[in-house]
Amino acid sequence: MIDQVESLLKKAEEQKDELIELAKTLISFKTPAPPARNTDSIQTWIAQFLLERGFSIDKWDVYPGDPNVVGVLKGTNSAAYQSLIINGHVDVAEVKEGEDWVHDPFCPSEKNGFLIGRGASDMKGGMACVLFALKLIREAGVELPGDLILQSVIGEEVGEAGTLECCKKGYHADFAVVADTSDMHIQGQGGVITGWIEMKSSQTFHDGTRRNMIHAGGGTFGASAIEKMAKIISGLGELERHWAIMKSYPGFTPGTNTINPAVIEGGRHAAFIADECRLWITVHFYPNETHEEVAAEIEDYINRLSDSDIWLRENRPVFKWGGSSMIEERGEIFPALEVDPAHPGVLALTASHEEIKREPLVIDVSQTVTDGGWLYNAGIPSVIYGPGDLYNAHAVNEEVSIKQLVDYTKIMLTFIMRWCSRKKEQ
């Protein structure tokens, strides 16, 4: 196998121009989300690419115009050897009119050793590397003993969790690599959940009655839902500060677990006392927590606060958590992901990285979230490991180092060969 790997690495270097052209092809597909519903063309292209290289293809619509593609290359001895999922998303961050791009963001260019275009860093560069590595393996006639599964998913940018749909379909492996933006660090991640806190008065009042409900002797039991939501927001701030003091996780700056009051909606008209109000919050939590736990903790805290308020005791806040789409449902969930540094998959990936880069691999935590949490949540040991950095992800004139793309391709070639040729643990 050593000779096979050396031969593949040589080809990766010799054919790096082909790798860059492959990345440019992926970038040229316009797949921003929002608006989404625009990935069928790129997914059809990827499905054909994999089909021509011996993969069986499963392609299905998650939303109309946004299909997932899963390619499976069965191993020669699947029962005895390790299996691998490589996961990546084909949607990219939105491009707003008037952004100061040097070139059309979907007409990729090269400058000073960097590839520039929307998705170069997040994460079509990573997807191109993986596809190119698979191409080289298949062209060399390598027969892997273990199964290799490529998941090309939609919706990551807007919480639509194409990866979750893969999990629901039963795709599983002994290890998974999410080839998303990590600057070639192995990373875990905290999680994110959005939620709505809603309150509605049991009665509606004319604005002319406000004096009766706020001054002595008024005799009217009522309140503005907007003003009461301000009390809820203040309480969320208290809980957030408590978390910053009492909770921590290695690799995260204290206080990274936040509760952001992102959007508030309320009232119906200037001639009414506001009889309803809705608050949209975004909650970041640590890798050793679940979204169910943090949601329950927030509900408990706000319910206790409501117990101390005469009006809120009678007009209880209602909580609605998560959702499967920021576009369709105005809600999302990204589960957390913890990395086990001693897992054989992590050790094998570390060895591959250090052989190619000739420098120690960094294992840390992402400051953002990816679909990796869904794989981890499904019981698959997983890591985030990809080219590109967060400073370029979503940025105007997004770019990625071409050398990093070549290095990442070589590392993944080495790792795929090593991992899928390793016998399962007894």
271: Cβ contacts below 8 Å, ≥ 6 apart? 206, 207
Instruction: Using alpha carbons, select from 154, 84, 95, 99 the residue that is nearest to residue 123.
Output: 154
Kindly indicate the confidence band of residue 213, based on its pLDDT and cuts at 50, 70 and 90: confident
H or E stretch including 246?
helix 225-246
Give the pLDDT confidence score for residue 218 in this predicted structure: 85
Specify the CATH number for 2-189+337-419; select among 3.20.20.450, 3.40.630.10, 3.40.190.10, 3.40.50.1980: 3.40.630.10
pLDDT at residue 426 tops 70: no
Does 2-189+337-419 match 191-321 in CATH topology? no
Instruction: List the strands of the sheet with 109-111, edge to edge.
Output: 109-111, 114-116, 399-401
Half-sphere exposure of 395 (CA within 13 A, CB side): 15
Return d(Cα 386, Cα 366) in angstroms, integer: 12
What's this model's pTM, rounded to 2 decimal places?
0.94
| CB-based contact 181:372 (threshold 8 Å) | no
DSSP-based three-state secondary structure for 144 = coil
Token duo for residue 119: 């998705």
Q: Is 238 left (phi over 0), alpha (psi -120 to 50) or beta?
A: alpha
Dist CA 200 CA 212 (whole Å): 19
pLDDT tens digits, residue range 59-107? 999 999 999 999 999 999 999 999 999 999 999 999 999 999 999 999 9
pLDDT at residue 49, rounded to an integer: 98
| pLDDT digits 0-9 by tens, 343-377 | 999 999 999 999 999 999 999 999 999 999 999 99
Q: Annotated active-site positions, please?
A: 91, 156
Provide the 3-class DSSP secondary structure of residue 89: strand
Judged on CB neighbours under 10 Å (0-12, 13-18, 19+), 271 is exposed
**Domains of the chain, residue spans:** 2-189+337-419, 191-321
In angstroms, the CA 130 to CA 46 distance is 11
Spatial separation of the C-alpha atoms in residues 187 and 190, rounded to whole Å: 10
- Architecture of the 191-321 domain: 2-Layer Sandwich (3.30)
Instruction: Report how far residue 47's alpha carbon sits from residue 292's, in angstroms, rounded to the nearest whole number.
Output: 36
Residue 170, pLDDT above cutoff 90: yes
